[in-house]
């Protein structure tokens, strides 16, 4: 099993989950191929993270082509809060949400007969 973590990605977790749900359970080459043509901003970042987890597995002596994306967890990594001036002397808060992404790659389980 190989892991990779992205601690702070400047995009909301809701938007990143749209991309990660697409690649859960796929093999590493199939996941990278799917992400290459996906027109979402997070797709490049998630592809880079999967490549990093695959490189971690290769350094541990595992075969990369046989690995599958076992789980991708997208969490809230806090938010940047700032205020924007509005009409009549009011101020409204702007919340820039951030994401934390954890990828786990594992060999597929052998089917029991």
Cα(19)–Cα(42) distance, rounded to whole angstroms?
7
Assess contact for 101 and 74: CB atoms under 8 A. yes
Q: Which of 107, 104, 112, 110 is nearest to 50 (CA)?
A: 104
Instruction: Examine the pLDDT at 113 and tell me if it is beyond 60.
Output: no
What digits encode the pLDDT tens for the residues 41-91? 999 999 999 999 999 999 988 888 889 999 999 999 999 999 999 999 999
Under DSSP, the state recorded for 88 is G
User: Model confidence at 109, in pLDDT bands (50, 70, 90)?
Assistant: low
Cα(56)–Cα(42) distance, rounded to whole angstroms?
21
Residue 35: count other Cβ atoms within 10 Å of its Cβ. Answer: 22
**What pLDDT score was predicted for residue 37?**
93
User: Model confidence at 1, in pLDDT bands (50, 70, 90)?
Assistant: confident
The domain segmentation of the chain, as residue ranges, is 2-106
Instruction: Tell which CATH architecture fits domain 2-106.
Output: Alpha-Beta Complex (3.90)
Q: Which of 7, 32, 12 is nearest to 22 (CA)?
A: 32
User: Model confidence at 19, in pLDDT bands (50, 70, 90)?
Assistant: very high
């Amino acid at each position: 099993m190989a892991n990779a973590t992205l601690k702070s990605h400047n995009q909301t977790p809701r938007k990143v989950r749209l991309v990660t749900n697409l690649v859960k359970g796929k093999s590493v080459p199939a996941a990278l191929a799917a992400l290459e043509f996906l027109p979402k901003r997070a797709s490049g970042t998630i592809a880079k993270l999967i490549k990093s987890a695959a490189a971690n597995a290769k350094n541990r002596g595992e075969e990369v082509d046989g690995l599958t994306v076992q789980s991708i967890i997208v969490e809230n990594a806090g938010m940047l809060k700032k205020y924007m001036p509005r009409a009549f002397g009011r101020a409204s808060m702007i919340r820039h949400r951030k994401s934390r992404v954890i990828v786990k790659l594992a060999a597929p389980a052998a089917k029991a007969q």
